[in-house]
Structure formats: structure tokens, C-alpha cells
């Protein structure tokens, strides 16, 4: 049975006819519910045959076929810490998946004495099983925390990967420390070695995997047409921000921010010499998660717009970009926490809703 987004927005148990229709500045939109009853879905990837791979934060990876049928959990996953914001996070299909069936997963990896950290693994997807499972990256140090794992994965045209990380919620003092991987973006090869271009590796005691630093909790990342990395990250109370994330740059956390402590209280300044200003920021927070540039055929007026999910307000945020500046922002009301955004081969937009009984939604023009 399909459940309308309007019902979800009203927190009602009433079942109404699917699909739902919502208004947008570029024309009315139709939302179809593809699948429901997923436990906090976090990451989505479209396979060449049109099926979806979806992670559930509770530690399950599943297929969803074109009819919305949800598979049994795929086996072969490692031990995963499922607590707070931790669990199974992103899934990324390799650029050559059609020939090698390789996928990448990010997740909360257990350590000694109740510690954990963000990890990335590579595996071969063979039907209902993961084979050749190999951990290629582990954030250091591992700490006792349930928060701020980051975890978004992006692959470049040359096959190298970006891995986003957070400050773990209680490790702010390590974010500016280049000997750690806390509050950093890592840039690695598919085998987990330092990828070319990590200029901080030239500094004494710096981790050679670091691409950029000074990040609080990056949960959205994508590449533009020029191959540049764009990220967004959660601020504290206010101060969510979007950045073009450049090798060797310091994005300021916790020295500068447009947010404040939860409940009030100054954290730092809003600017400082040598620290990067955000390209765009939100006060109050929208709690962003998932992000991509739209390049599909279905929404002609959305070409190269940046689409950002909002957890806090249950929205899809559409940003028009010109000369690396946001020229217009639209908030499209979805009615549920949007955790991830993906574009299908036909140009429709898939959304994941992060709820106890989360859903995969498909967004198309109404007309």
C-alpha cells in the first residue's frame, strides 16, 4: 500500500490516494512513493539495470526494484556500530560498475573500549552477497561518540574518492589538528592510499590522506561540471554552509561559524584571515543532507541547479548558481526528513526520507 506524502506531513495514519502533488516555482510536481517501511534509509545509488541500492542506518543494504519490491538484506557486511547517528551510511557504485560490480560503503566501525569511527569499504556485489570485502579507510583516532560521522562518498572521473568526516561531536579540538582525520575530507585511491593532489601531505605530521580541514559534519558532497568538490555541512544552532572544497584549505570550524551553541552562546567569530568563508549559509539551520547538481532531461529548468535535502524542515532545497554564487533559493515542501538525493537515468529525482519507517520517493513534473 502506498502512503501519501501529505499524510506523512500531517503525521496522520489516514491512507489517501497516491500520488501526491506539490507546488514549485518551476511548475507543479508529482511525488510517487516507490517503497516504504525502510529503517532510517541513508544512502541511495542507481544500478545500471534501474534497480536501487539503499542503505538502512540500522545496518542493512537492500535492493529495490522498479516495482518497489524491497529485497532481503544483502549479506557480507562487517560489524557496524548502530547508535545515535552511527550505522550503515552511504553507498556508491563504482564508475565502472557495469564491468566490475564494485561498490563502496561508509559506516561506523567499532574499535576497542567502546570507541568507533567512520570507515569505508570496497566490495564486489554478487547477487545477495558482498564478496572481496576490504576496508580501505578508517578515520583516526577512534573515539567514544555516537555523533557527527560525516560519511558521504564521491568518486572522481579518475576513480579516486572523497570521504567526508565530522568532528565526532565531542572532538572539536582535533579538527584543526592535521595529525588526525577528525573534521576532515579525505582523498584516497580505490585501494585507500593517498590520492594525488593532497598538498597538506607536504606538511610535517600532517595525515597524507587529508584534502581539506576545519569541517564540523559534512553529509552532502558532489562534483560540478569542472570536477570540483562541493560540500555542505551542519552548523551547530544555525550556520549550515555550502563550500567549494579546495585542496589544502581550512574551512574554519570551530574558529569561525555563523552558528551558536545549542541553547545559545558564542562559539567563535564569523571570519578570520586564512579561513575560508562559505559560499552560502543558512540561519536558522535547515539540517542539510544529500546534495547533487541536477543534470537530467526531465526538469529542463533545473539544469545545473544544486539540489539539497533538508532534514529539519522536510524540504528539497533548489539553488540556482551563477559564477559560483547562489542567485536564487527555492524551498520545496516534501513533508518528511530528506536524507539523500539521487537522479535516475530518465531524469526523475529520487529522495530518501529518514524516518523510523522511511521511504524512497520519486519526483517528476506534474504536467
Asked whether the CA dihedral 113, 116, 121, 125 is positive or negative, the reply is positive
Q: What is the mean pLDDT of the chain?
A: 94
pLDDT single digits (tens) 156-204: 999 999 999 999 999 999 999 999 999 999 999 999 999 999 999 888 8
Grouping H, G, I as helix, E, B as strand and the rest as coil, residue 165 is coil
Work out the widest C-alpha separation in the chain, in whole angstroms. 62
User: Which amino acids are annotated catalytic?
Assistant: 148
Mean pLDDT computed over 321-332: 98
C-alpha cell at 350: 529520487
Kind plus residue range of the DSSP H or E element containing 7: helix 5-9
pLDDT single digits (tens) 262-319: 999 999 899 999 999 999 999 999 999 999 999 999 999 999 999 999 999 999 999 9
Instruction: In the chain, count H helices and then E strands.
Output: 2, 24
98 against 6, higher pLDDT: 98
C-alpha cell at 37: 517501511
In whole angstroms, give the CA distance from residue 314 to residue 83. Answer: 23
Q: How far, in Å, are 100, 223, 255, 329 from residue 244 at the CA level?
A: 31, 9, 19, 18
pTM confidence score: 0.94
Res 2: pLDDT: 31
Res 3: pLDDT: 32
User: 157: alpha, beta or left, given left = phi > 0 and alpha = psi -120 to 50?
Assistant: alpha
Res 162: pLDDT: 99
Q: pLDDT tier at 12 (50, 70, 90 boundaries)?
A: very low
Mean pLDDT computed over 55-71: 97
| Strand order through the sheet with 280-282 | 218-223, 229-233, 240-244, 280-282
Find all residues with CB under 8 Å of 362, minimum gap 6, and list them.
31, 32, 33, 34, 344, 348, 349, 350, 351
pLDDT at 6 over 50: no
Mean pLDDT computed over 75-80: 98
Grouping H, G, I as helix, E, B as strand and the rest as coil, residue 302 is helix
| Residue in the structure block whose three cell numbers are 568532528 | 167
What are the φ and ψ backbone dihedral angles of 97, each rounded to 5 degrees? -55, -35
Distance of CA 315 to the CA centre of its chain: 15
Asked whether the CA dihedral 166, 168, 173, 177 is positive or negative, the reply is negative
Residues of the chain with pLDDT > 90, as a percent, come to 92
Mean pLDDT computed over 109-137: 98
8 against 213, higher pLDDT: 213
202 against 241, higher pLDDT: 241
Rounded to 5°, the CA angle 4-9-12 comes to 75
Res 27: pLDDT: 87
Res 163: pLDDT: 99
Amino acid at each position: 500500500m502506498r502512503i501519501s506524502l501529505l499524510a506523512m506531513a500531517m503525521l496522520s495514519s489516514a491512507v489517501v490516494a497516491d500520488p501526491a502533488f506539490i507546488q514549485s516555482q518551476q511548475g507543479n510536481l508529482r511525488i510517487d512513493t516507490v517503497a516504504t517501511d525502510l529503517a532510517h534509509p541513508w544512502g541511495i545509488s542507481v544500478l545500471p539495470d534501474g534497480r536501487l541500492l539503499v542503505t538502512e542506518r540500522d545496518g542493512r543494504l537492500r535492493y529495490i526494484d522498479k516495482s518497489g519490491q524491497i529485497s532481503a538484506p544483502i549479506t557480507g557486511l562487517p560489524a557496524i556500530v548502530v547508535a545515535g547517528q552511527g550505522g550503515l551510511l552511504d553507498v556508491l557504485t563504482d564508475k565502472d560498475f557495469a564491468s566490475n560490480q564494485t561498490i563502496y560503503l561508509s559506516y561506523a566501525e567499532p574499535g576497542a573500549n567502546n570507541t568507533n569511527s567512520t570507515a569505508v569499504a570496497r566490495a564486489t556485489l554478487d547477487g545477495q552477497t558482498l564478496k572481496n570485502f576490504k576496508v580501505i579507510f578508517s578515520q583516526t583516532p577512534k573515539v567514544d561518540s555516537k555523533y557527527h560521522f560525516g560519511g558521504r562518498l564521491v568518486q572522481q572521473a579518475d576513480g579516486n574518492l572523497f570521504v567526508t568526516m565530522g568532528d565526532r561531536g565531542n572532538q572539536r579540538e582535533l579538527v584543526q589538528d592535521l595529525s588526525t582525520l577528525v573534521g576532515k575530507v579525505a582523498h584516497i585511491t580505490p585501494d585507500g592510499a593517498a590520492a594525488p593532489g593532497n598538498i597538506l601531505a607536504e606538511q610535517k605530521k600532517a595525515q597524507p590522506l587529508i584534502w581539506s580541514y576545519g569541517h564540523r559534519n559534512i553529509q552532502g558532497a558532489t562534483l560540478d561540471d569542472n570536477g570540483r568538490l562541493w560540500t555542505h555541512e551542519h552548523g551547530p544552532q544555525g550556520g549550515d554552509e555550502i563550500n567549494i572544497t579546495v585542496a589544502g584549505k581550512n574551512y574554519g570550524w570551530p574558529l569561525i561559524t555563523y552558528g551558536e551553541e545549542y541553547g545559545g552562546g558564542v562559539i567563535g567569530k564569523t571570519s578570520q584571515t586564512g579561513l575560508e568563508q562559505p559560499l552560502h549559509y543558512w540561519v536558522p539551520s535547515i539540517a542539510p543532507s544529500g546534495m547533487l547538481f541536477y543534470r537530467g532531461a526531465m526538469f529542463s529548468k533545473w539544469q545545473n541547479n544544486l539540489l539539497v535535502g533538508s532534514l529539519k524542515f522536510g524540504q528539497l532545497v533548489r539553488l540556482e548558481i551563477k559564477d559560483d554564487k547562489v542567485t536564487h533559493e527555492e524551498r520545496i515542501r516534501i513533508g518528511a526528513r530528506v536524507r539523500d538525493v539521487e537522479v535516475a537515468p530518465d531524469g526523475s529525482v529520487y529522495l530518501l526520507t529518514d524516518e523510523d519507517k522511511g521511504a524512497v520517493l520519486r519526483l517528476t513534473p506534474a504536467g
